[in-house]
Amino acid sequence: MKKNIIVVTLVAAAAMGSVSTFAADGQINFTGEIIDAACEVVNNVNNPLAVTLGRVAKTAFDGKGTTAAATGFTLQLKNCPATLTGATVKFDGTTVAGDNSVLALTQEAGVAQGVGIQLSDSSQDALPLNTASASYPLASTGTNNLDFVARYVATATTVTAGPANATASFTINYN
């Protein structure tokens, strides 16, 4: 009986060891750093930035993927520690189904359909949400302007009229 328990225990231990060995297909190593101080974000949650895209006719869109004129906006950082030489920005928000480069409109009564908001960084390429922007250089004195643009983009063949508002949050990551 004792021999049977020992054999069963060894078989079970071997099976568990082989399961965990074969369960992983790869490995991810996460790296980063917590810094002492960051820049002061001028456009923070207590002082949100309002970007007015204006009133655009639905006829301005000539099919899926067409855009309206871009509107520039600037995020500002000041009082940056001298040890921080660059920063990227990551915008977060609800995306249009199937396209992480378009911010979905806030659902409200009569909301416009077939359109979303596209953001671009200094590269002028569409900036997918949840993705770091191009790197912006930082100076420890004065105000650092991180320039972006926003524009309406058609997400469907037909665009309907209505409110076309959206909200995004952003995170600054320092190089």
Asked if residue 80 lies in contact with residue 140, where contact means CB atoms within 8 angstroms, the answer is yes
pLDDT in tens, 93-135: 999 988 999 999 999 999 999 999 999 997 778 999 999 999 9
- What lies within 8 Å, CB to CB, of 65 at 6+ separation is 153, 154
Domain boundaries, the chain: 40-174
Q: Read off the amino acid at residue 56.
A: V
Q: Read off the amino acid at residue 5.
A: I
Residue 153 has pLDDT above 90, yes or no: yes
Nearest-angstrom CA–CA distance, 110 and 44: 30
Return left, alpha or beta for 84; rule: phi > 0 is left, psi -120 to 50 is alpha, else beta.
beta
pLDDT in tens, 8-32: 444 455 545 544 456 778 888 888 8
Q: For tokens 């915008």, name the residue.
A: 91
User: pTM for this one?
Assistant: 0.80
Asked if residue 117 lies in contact with residue 151, where contact means CB atoms within 8 angstroms, the answer is yes
40-174 under CATH 3.50.40.10, yes or no: no
Residue 7 has pLDDT above 50, yes or no: no
Nearest-angstrom CA–CA distance, 104 and 164: 9
Residue 69 has pLDDT above 70, yes or no: yes
SS3 80: coil
